[in-house]
Amino acid sequence: MLVMSGKHGKKEDTSEIARDFEKAKAELWLLYEISNAMRTTLELEQILYIILTAVTSHEGLGFNRAMLFLVNKKDGALEGKMGIGPHSIDEATRIWKSIEEKKMALEDLINAYDNFKRDPNSKLHNLVKSMRIPLDESQGVLALTVLEGMLFEVLTEEARQRVDDKYLQALGMQYFVTVPLKAKDKVVGIIAVDNIFTQKPITKSDTGLLSLFANHAGLAIENSRLYEEKVYLSNTDWLTKLWNHGHFQAILSRELTKARENETPLSLIMVDIDDFKNYNDRFGHVTGDTIIKAIAQIIIEASRKKDYVCRYGGEEFSVILPQTTKEDANNIAKRLRDKVRRYAFPNQEIQPKKVFTLSCGIATYPHDAHDKDSLIRNADAALFKAKRSGKDTIVLYELA
């Protein structure tokens, strides 16, 4: 209710309304600007970066630190994805001074995404990325924010004393807010924020704007996830779930570029299932597909995490091995060939060698080839030689 006190009282009330109006207009404009920035990309990591930059920017919501976690429904866990903010008061002072000197606006900070990706020393980000929180009430405030689907505020000493959360302790959070990220009434993640360095009190106005922003962010994250799922499906083989031939070409081009820039070797193994037609003709394509799926899984298990296993076509596979010499590639090829020989496939006794076997051809950049097409061609030539040499063997390409 407005309390009027003559002409001066009315002027003060009008002035207060005007200030509130200007503040609301500024907040709406901020949300509009951030929403526009989020619409410039569908890459999930870049979306997360824009969200957290908006939350921590002095032109944005202005919190000292922001941490984002996403729900993994399959595993029933909350996974740390990104953290933006200083790790110490000295780092905070240095960063804020640099931003002020360079007069960096929100748009400038968002455009610094490539620098963020290349920074391996972000302690807060690395700490957040290491966290995996089971979605259980006993796991503390971060898990409860998802389970309850509501904002949590710990802004007083009394509230802080009631919080026993090992994840918050690891992050050094004392007075903070956690807010759910929702998309169509589904919680897809959370943001946790604090002002650990400035100790600036978090107001109701701050949390209200954060909640409003979280609704936009949740939808942007969900749209990005749906897009990435479609991209993944378009790049994978329907039967084996390995990368398909088209994506194999794209991966190899990208990894060769990295190999050139870093002056590191890159090896390619071409793999073929020996006498597969013999088995397929006897038992049919449906049964043959089960063999292809099983061998695909064996190749994945025999490879390393950094390798790319692809279905090249039919009963032929390819394995791209970054930063790998020909000798190391040969050892990996031996491992996957031996694992296939030892595996008990159904009715494998009808095969010429009574077991399923593989032939492999290997070529390595830069020793054997300097571009993608010649690397594929030379690895394929080595595979052809392996097939003609009696199969169940590995051939390393040799320059004539």
Q: What is the pLDDT of residue 4?
A: 42
Q: What is the pLDDT of residue 52?
A: 83
Residue ranges of the chain with per-residue pLDDT less than 70: 1-14, 17-42, 59-60, 88-121, 400
Q: What is the pLDDT of residue 227?
A: 83
* CB distance 226 to 188 below 8 Å: no
Q: What is the pLDDT of residue 181?
A: 94
* CB distance 169 to 154 below 8 Å: no
State pLDDT tens for residues 119-143: 666 788 899 999 999 999 999 999 9
282 φ, ψ to 5°? Answer: -80, -45
Superfamily, domain 6-231: GAF domain (3.30.450.40)
Q: What is the pLDDT of residue 323?
A: 96
Q: What is the pLDDT of residue 60?
A: 63
State pLDDT tens for residues 327-378: 999 999 999 999 999 999 999 999 999 999 999 999 999 999 999 999 999 9
Distances from the Cα of 314 to the Cα of 277, 288, 387, angstroms: 10, 11, 16
Instruction: Determine the residue type at 359.
Output: S
Q: What is the pLDDT of residue 385?
A: 96
- Architecture (CATH level 2) of domain 245-396: 2-Layer Sandwich (3.30)
Measured CA to CA, the distance from residue 35 to residue 111 in angstroms comes to 15
Q: Which residue ranges make up each domain of the chain?
A: 6-231, 245-396
State pLDDT tens for residues 234-262: 999 999 999 999 999 999 999 999 999 99
